[in-house]
Amino acid sequence: MTMFQWKLAIRYFLHRPTSWLAVGAVALCGFIVIVVLTVMSGLSSDFKKRNHNFVGDCLIATDSLVGFPRDSKFIECLESQSFIEAVSESIFGVGLVTQSGVDWNIGVQFMGIDPVRHSAVTNFADTLYYRKGLPEKAFISVHNPDQEGCAVGIDLIGMPRTSSGDYEHSENPPLIQLVLSSFPLTAKGALARGGTDLASSKTLYVVDDSHTGLPQVDGSMIYLPIQTARLLTGMDSPIERISAIHIKFKPFVSLDRGTGQVRALWNDYIRTRGDSPYDNLLKSVRVQTWLENRRSRIAAIEKEQNMLILLFLMLGIITVFIVFVIFYMLVGHKSRDIGILQSVGMSRLKIAVVFLNFSALIGILGALLAAAGGCAFLYYINPIFMPLEKSPIKSRFRFWPPWPARPWRPVCSERFFRPSGPLERKPFRFFGSVRYNWKIRQNNEINIACRGGLQIIQNGKTIPLCA
């Protein structure tokens, strides 16, 4: 009787065109759920991984720009723990960046680090392009080794991209000088300087670019030596201060257990300080896991993922309703067949099993089509979207650069400088502005800035020709 029930269900399925509509609805719903949730899950896990790589496993940090006192004995205590693999300090600050001879500036964030120690805790060395895997050379300029260097977020310098989305790099780092300015603060949060000289400024060579994959970081962050950052922020006096201590645990240590042990060490350290000066700065310091520290960034993408799950739940209810309507129509039109089956001795339960088998066929076939279509789409997703990246429609609506481009207003003309050799005109982007390189046979470079003056850069020295 079981085989007869399946044969009858298959017959109903093949001879009812509306049953294929139900299969299509199930397949479409399953396809959308598989594709979207897989992509969102991948984006969420990748975003979390990048945040984890950016800060390390655990942080002892404060949100205050004043920082908290640095104690070398406590850092040595952390490094001596058996469950800790590496420790790094950092200084966070905000400031303005510009170039000499120009009249624009941009608000940026900067982080002072020891690149070798910081790369042992995070993946900083892997985010670099020219000095990848060489953190000891991260801040050494190839153009002028005696001048301090820095690494900038890749989106901060407006790096152009190929049609596939990859960043275009030259063979060597560009010769770019930046002037970074910040307002140093005292331990009480007041301005450390008075009068007209309120800001501290430092000229830095761009040595490399950093690509963390985090848009907020890559579009606004400058990395520089920790001593330079300490001078810019005023954390060098009257007592050395830092903004955060980054910690990496050994592989066998769980995140919660390691953070709990670090929190216990920090509480013991606070108790042993007694009434030391500047203890009020320690009240805002928190010991957090990387997930707690980056919660405000990760919460948004997790909220979107939960909203999609709710949306697909509603879509599943609609699909169930469609299958129910088709099932109801089928049963309503089969009253004569039901009567014949009852006349030959089939019970109501066995007749119900026939129609349940029919609905199972719809669900199984729809699920198989959804799984096959979803897996095929995800496998070929890059070739599918590659033509869209190259389409002219996309290029007309590119949201780049990240801030409005400044109008091209050269303030000097060619009469100030007439080179004797042939010139080669090469456009490129820097800080959202179109610039032009003129290369002469004598290996000089003349930069015409969008809103700046005309400059000659020769042997690492910038010679302004007009203001």
Write the pLDDT tens digit of every residue in 118-171.
999 999 999 999 999 899 998 988 877 888 899 999 888 777 777 667 788 888
pLDDT band at 414 (very low <50, low <70, confident <90, very high): very low
Are residue 353 and residue 231 in the same domain, yes or no? no
User: Count of CB atoms within 10 A of residue 406's CB?
Assistant: 17
Are residue 338 and residue 388 in the same domain, yes or no? yes
Identify the pLDDT of residue 388: 53
What average pLDDT does the chain have? 78
Structure tokens at 302: 């997790």
Q: What pairing do the DSSP bridges indicate for beta strands 244-249 and 84-98?
A: antiparallel
Are residue 180 and residue 223 in the same domain, yes or no? yes
**In the chain, % of residues over pLDDT 70:** 81
| Top-confidence residue, 183 or 450 | 183
Average pLDDT over residues 266-274: 87
Q: Give the domain range for residue 310.
A: 2-48+300-395
404 part of a folded domain: no
Would the pLDDT of 416 be above 60?
no
Domain count, the chain: 3
Would the pLDDT of 279 be above 60?
yes
Are residue 278 and residue 344 in the same domain, yes or no? no
Identify the pLDDT of residue 196: 61
DSSP states of 280-309: GGGGG-EEEEHHHHTHHHHHHHHHHHHHHH
Are residue 208 and residue 356 in the same domain, yes or no? no
Average pLDDT over residues 74-88: 94
Question: What's phi and psi for 401, nearest 5 deg?
Answer: -75, 175
Are residue 109 and residue 198 in the same domain, yes or no? yes
Would the pLDDT of 442 be above 60?
no
Are residue 139 and residue 213 in the same domain, yes or no? yes
Identify the pLDDT of residue 417: 36
**Domain closes at, from 250, 284, 318:** 284
Average pLDDT over residues 337-363: 81
219 part of a folded domain: yes
Would the pLDDT of 448 be above 70?
no
As a whole number of angstroms, the distance between CA 437 and CA 457 comes to 11
Average pLDDT over residues 418-433: 41
Would the pLDDT of 415 be above 50?
no
Q: Which residues contact 323 (CB under 8 A, 6 or more apart)?
A: 22, 25, 26, 359, 362, 363
408 part of a folded domain: no
User: Count of CB atoms within 10 A of residue 418's CB?
Assistant: 6
Q: Which residues contact 355 (CB under 8 A, 6 or more apart)?
A: 9, 12, 327, 330, 331
Average pLDDT over residues 415-438: 40
pLDDT band at 458 (very low <50, low <70, confident <90, very high): very low
Identify the pLDDT of residue 277: 77
Q: Which residues contact 99 (CB under 8 A, 6 or more apart)?
A: 176, 177, 178, 179, 449, 452
**Domain closes at, from 365, 395, 425:** 395
Length of the chain: 467
For residue range 24-45, what is the model confidence (pLDDT) as tens digits?
888 888 888 888 888 888 888 8
Identify the pLDDT of residue 7: 79
Would the pLDDT of 292 be above 80?
yes
Would the pLDDT of 198 be above 80?
no
Structure tokens at 205: 């060579």
295 part of a folded domain: no
For residue range 301-317, what is the model confidence (pLDDT) as tens digits?
888 888 888 888 888 78
Would the pLDDT of 333 be above 60?
yes
Identify the pLDDT of residue 386: 61
Would the pLDDT of 346 be above 90?
no
As a whole number of angstroms, the distance between CA 209 and CA 193 comes to 32
290 part of a folded domain: no
Identify the pLDDT of residue 396: 30
Q: Which residues contact 292 (CB under 8 A, 6 or more apart)?
A: none
Are residue 129 and residue 265 in the same domain, yes or no? yes
**Greatest mean pLDDT range, 163-167, 215-219, 437-441, 458-462:** 215-219
Identify the pLDDT of residue 278: 81
Identify the pLDDT of residue 447: 39
Among all chains, which residue has been given the structure tokens 């697909």?
A: 312
381 part of a folded domain: yes
Are residue 196 and residue 249 in the same domain, yes or no? yes
Q: Which whole-number Å values give the CA distances from 182 to 207, 231, 232, 447, in the listed order?
A: 20, 9, 6, 26
118 part of a folded domain: yes
Structural contact between residues 388 and 51, judged by C-beta atoms closer than 8 angstroms: no
Identify the pLDDT of residue 242: 94
Are residue 251 and residue 113 in the same domain, yes or no? yes
Are residue 169 and residue 223 in the same domain, yes or no? yes
**Domain closes at, from 395, 426, 449:** 395
For residue range 376-412, what is the model confidence (pLDDT) as tens digits?
888 887 777 665 555 443 333 232 333 333 332 333 3
Identify the pLDDT of residue 445: 38
Identify the pLDDT of residue 86: 95
pLDDT band at 17 (very low <50, low <70, confident <90, very high): confident
Nearest one of 102, 127, 179, 119 to 466, comparing CA atoms:
102
Nearest one of 78, 86, 87, 79 to 262, comparing CA atoms:
78
Structure tokens at 265: 């060490």
Structural contact between residues 219 and 184, judged by C-beta atoms closer than 8 angstroms: no
Are residue 93 and residue 151 in the same domain, yes or no? yes
54 part of a folded domain: no
Half-sphere exposure at residue 401, Cβ-oriented, CA atoms within 13 angstroms: 22
Q: Which residues contact 230 (CB under 8 A, 6 or more apart)?
A: 91, 112, 236, 240, 241
Note the helical H segments in 380-425: 381-389, 392-396
